[in-house]
Structures are given as structure tokens and as C-alpha cells.
A = this chain, B = another copy of it.
Amino acid sequence: MKITEIKAFLGRCFEPVELIGAGDIEITGPAKIEEATAGQVSFVANEKYYRHIAGTGASLVVVSPKAPLDDAPAGTSFLKVADPYTAFVFILQHFAGTRRIAAPGFAATASIAASARLGRNVSVGEHAVIGESCVIGDDTVIGPNTVIMDGVSIGSECTIYPLVTIYDGTSIGDRVIIHSGAVIGADGFGFAPQKNGSYMKIPQMGTVEIGDDVEIGANTTIDRATMGATVIEKGAKIDNLVQIAHNCRIGGDTVIASQAGISGSVKIGRQCLIGGQAGFAGHLELADRTSVAAKAGISKSFLEPGLAIRGVPAQPMRDQLRQEAQVRGLGEMKSQLEALEKRLQELQKRLAG
């Protein structure tokens, strides 16, 4: 793809796109600005990285209109766009091609129940298992050795990677991506304590509902509801090794980083950002656009939209940072206390003298 073609391609989404330098060079793929060589395209979105422009070997760099190009190498062309980061994502997508997860059609070794209804152009990988009464939409790919239990519905254009488990009754929207090892719809962790100290299992009769455009990371677990449904709303992005317990509701376009743990019946709003290893007590609620710092421990609801919270137990960012500063200042405080004590002692001595 020539630089002029990339300019035209971006021009369909970004207005304006300005080309600085030669346009007739063939671009063969993307690379990081520090590592790019001739024929490659890179980008600089953050001004911290402007210093890499002078030394880059890239043939093309996507930058913002205000990027300083005075020291730019002679052989490098530039495309100036308002949002170079997203523009570069478009370029990545162009070069990404399609990953082959399963050969087209149904593998001969796949076990597909006779009552399952599969759409047009569905691929089912080797040894995959699709249970009774499942419904799978057009253009969806089911990876090898994945197991889909009875009565699951999956939309169209989904990618279910190898070795995923989807329990019975789960409902999944369109364009959903589920990575390997994820387990969707296992029993919620519910037990009734008995007088002798043992526990009786509470049947988990609910389901899981996953909206369109959700992505679920490797080895993440999303439990089914006791009754009703655990819900992941449209556009939510969930990283690896995350736990989402029974009866949770995760709002649309909310992002949850790796190893976060959401206890039962938690309701997280839309467009929230949940940091890695954050943990939630059960039955609480976060308003839309709440930002939770990594490792935070959330023990109560935060109902004001847009708050940033942090710490264990979590509190608003400003309070928590002040508290952390106070803890760091404890040594100084101790010195002040001792100095005060000494001065008081001298005073008392003088008065007694």
C-alpha cells in the first residue's frame, strides 16, 4: 500500500489529512517508532515521544498537526491528522489480516448436536462441542476444543477462541470475542450454611447475558446468576483472569483490567474503568464513569458519576492521596512531637526553677 493510498484511506474517516514528504513509497507493515525501518509506518501521539522522530527509520509516521518536524529524517514522510492514535489503529487493522482460528466449515471431528441451529458461514474447529438447541449466528467462528453446552445462543460475527467453556443457557450478542480458557456461566458461589457447620449448595438457576461488542480475556470467569441473569452490557471490555460473580451487572463500554474481582450482585455503571487486581465487596454499586485505581478494595457504593476512587478501603482519590501523604509524613510528625515535648519540658523546668 503506497503512502498516498494510506492518505486516501484515512481521509475517509479523518478530515483533514496532510501529507508531508514523498507519497509514492510502498508501505509493507507497521512498527514501533524506535524499531521501524524502511517500508514501515509508525506513529507518535504523545508529545513525550516527539524525541523519537529525529532518529526514526520509518518511511511514514502518523503525527498530530502540531508535531515538530524540523529534525525529521529526510527520507521519512508524515501524515498529519487530528487523532494520530486512532488513525494508526486503522492502519494496524488494515495490515492485521485475519487470524485463522478454525478452517471454514465444520470440522469432521466437531460434535454438533442435531438440534443446534448454525447460521451461514459458521466455522467450527476440531473437537469443538456444541450442545442441544444452541443457536449460532452468521460468520461466527468457534475454536477447536471449545465446549458450548446446551441452549446457548451466540450472535453473528463472534470469535470464540479454542478451549473456551460456555455453560448452558448463556446468551451472547454479536461481534463478541472470547479468549481461550474463559469460562462463562459456571455456577455462582452460593451455599446455605447449615447448623452442623457444613454448607448446602444453592442451585444456580440463572444465566449469563453478554451484549454486543464485548471482549472477554483469557481465563476470565463469569458466573451465572442464582436467579435472573449476570449481565455484561454492550461494548464492555474485560481483561484476563477477571472474576465476575453471580448476578453482577457490568455497564456498557466499561473496561475491567486483569485480575480484578467483582463479588456477587455488584452493579457497575457505564464507561467505568476498573484497575487491575481491584476487588469489590458484594451487593454494591458504582455510578457511570467511575474510575477505580489498581488494587483498590471497594467496600461501599459510590453513586456520584465520574468519581475516581483508590485505596483499601477505597475512597475518593483526593482523600486517599491526602491520607497516603499523611502516612508518608509520619516520621516528620513524630519529630515535631518530640521537639514539642522537649520544649515543653524546658519550659516546665524553667518555671519550676
Contacts from A to B (Cβ < 8 Å): 30-32, 35, 85-86, 89, 92-93, 95-96, 99-101, 107, 109, 111, 125-127, 129, 131-132, 143-145, 147, 149-150, 161-163, 165, 167-168, 177, 179-181, 183, 186-187, 189, 191-192, 194, 197-203, 205, 213, 215, 217-219, 221, 223, 226-228, 235, 237, 239-241, 243, 245, 253, 255, 257-259, 261, 263, 270-271, 276-277, 279, 281, 294-295, 297, 312-313, 322-324, 326-331, 333-334, 336-337, 340-341, 343-344, 347-348, 350-351
* A-B contacts besides A243-B276, A257-B263, 11 pairs, CB < 8 Å: A89-B192, A100-B168, A107-B111, A111-B127, A126-B129, A129-B145, A147-B162, A177-B187, A181-B221, A189-B239, A261-B276
> How far, in whole Å, are A312 and B276 apart by their CA atoms in the complex?
13
Contact B149 A101 (CB under 8 A): yes
Contact A326 B334 (CB under 8 A): yes
Smallest CB-CB A-B distances: 10 pairs: A165-B180, A96-B203, A147-B162, A183-B218, A326-B330, A111-B126, A186-B218, A221-B240, A243-B258, A218-B221
Contacts of A237 in B (CB 8 A): 189, 191, 199
Contact A241 B243 (CB under 8 A): yes
Number of copies: 3
Contacts of A131 in B (CB 8 A): 100
Interface CB pairs A-B, < 8 A, 24: A89-B192, A89-B203, A99-B168, A125-B129, A145-B145, A145-B163, A149-B162, A165-B181, A186-B218, A187-B215, A189-B257, A197-B271, A198-B235, A199-B253, A219-B219, A239-B243, A241-B243, A259-B259, A279-B295, A322-B331, A327-B330, A330-B330, A340-B341, A343-B348
> How far, in whole Å, are A344 and B239 apart by their CA atoms in the complex?
57
> How far, in whole Å, are A115 and B67 apart by their CA atoms in the complex?
47
Contact B348 A351 (CB under 8 A): no
Contacts of A85 in B (CB 8 A): 192
Contacts of A194 in B (CB 8 A): 86
Instruction: Output the least CB separation between A251 and chain B (Å).
Output: 10
> How far, in whole Å, are A344 and B257 apart by their CA atoms in the complex?
52
- Given A89-B192, A205-B30, A337-B340, A162:B312 Cβ within 8 A: no
Contact B350 A144 (CB under 8 A): no
> How far, in whole Å, are A241 and B201 apart by their CA atoms in the complex?
19
Contact B350 A347 (CB under 8 A): no
Instruction: Output the least CB separation between A189 and chain B (Å).
Output: 4
Residue with the highest number of chain B CB atoms closer than 10 Å, among A109, A162, A187, A223: A162
